[in-house]
Structure 1
């Protein structure tokens, strides 16, 4: 068995998700313990910590199930079994091009904003005293 192979990756993912599950249970338990003994007076803080713990627990549980079951599978077409990776790659490529275009648009508008800010900074206010020094 090679380290970094399938079994090693699967076991590492399972261990990591178990660790996250324990951390989430620890978050929930400490928040409940702190409010139970009156160490924490803010119910809002405890509510947020418990909500984060529950969210982390659910994500870790789904990750653990996915790591244990390891469903890869294939897309059943009329003739044969087509792997999902090329189909997902095609859609991911389209989405990445779209997101990249949006990112470039906002990058150029940020550069325009920096240029306008620099230009505005060095302009004199027409309402100000004309003899004032900038």
Structure 2
């Protein structure tokens, strides 16, 4: 069969869903590794990462079963969900890549004020205390708090935030294009007839 045929579409769709399965397991593994080694103590952050990983795993599973069995209903729902995920992920990735420094600062400050465990993780890992000002009243877990030589965390976070947003935005943009490829492959594969099926069967 040529690459425009039934088998080729099926194989590409299976390969794409296996890639999504690996990414989902990697996401869950990184979250577990982070909490296991004490890098992340916020269960909310870990919970979000694990939830996204499980969601991606379930989507990949639906796509894989639909591709192997050429199941019209599963493929239809897989295509719709993947299209919605593409729209959301593409929008978020573009937003990450277009945020200027002032917008980044505002978002970082809002995030800092609304998280407690993540705040402590940042202070401990970056060896700083407070966001804009070092406050002696706050419980700071950084090593520098023992010697009272701490600096605010804002400059250090801003140093990394631009790079992190570019990396996250770039990776998200790359995967959003694989999702639209998955939608196109699924649409095409649904409308192809299995050469091994009964010629009189309706597909």
How many Å separate the matches in 2 of 1:61 and 1:72?
15
How far 1:71 sits from its partner (Å)?
2.8
- Following TM superposition, the consecutive aligned residue runs of length 4 or more in structure 1 with deviations greater than 4 angstroms are none
Report the structure, 1 or 2, having the larger strand content.
1
Structure 1: runs of 5+ lacking an equivalent: 74-134
Deviations 1:91-131 (A, max 9, x none): xxxxxxxxxxxxxxxxxxxxxxxxxxxxxxxxxxxxxxxxx
Highest RCO, 1 vs 2 (Cα 8 Å, sep ≥ 6):
2
What runs of 5+ residues in structure 2 fail to find an aligned partner?
74-203
Q: Does 1:42 align with 2:32?
A: no
RMSD between aligned residues: 1.4
Cα deviation for residue 17 of structure 1 reads 0.3
CA contact (8 A) 2:18 2:64 kept: yes
TM-score, normalised to structure 2, is 0.35
Q: For residues 25 and 58 of structure 2, what CA distance do their matches in structure 1 show?
A: 11
Query: Considering only CA atoms, is the larger Rg found in Structure 1 or Structure 2?
Result: 1
Cα 1:70/1:54, change in 2 over 3 Å: same
Q: TM-score, normalised by structure 1?
A: 0.52
**Per-residue deviation, 1:43:** 1.5
How many residues in Structure 1 have an aligned counterpart in Structure 2? 73
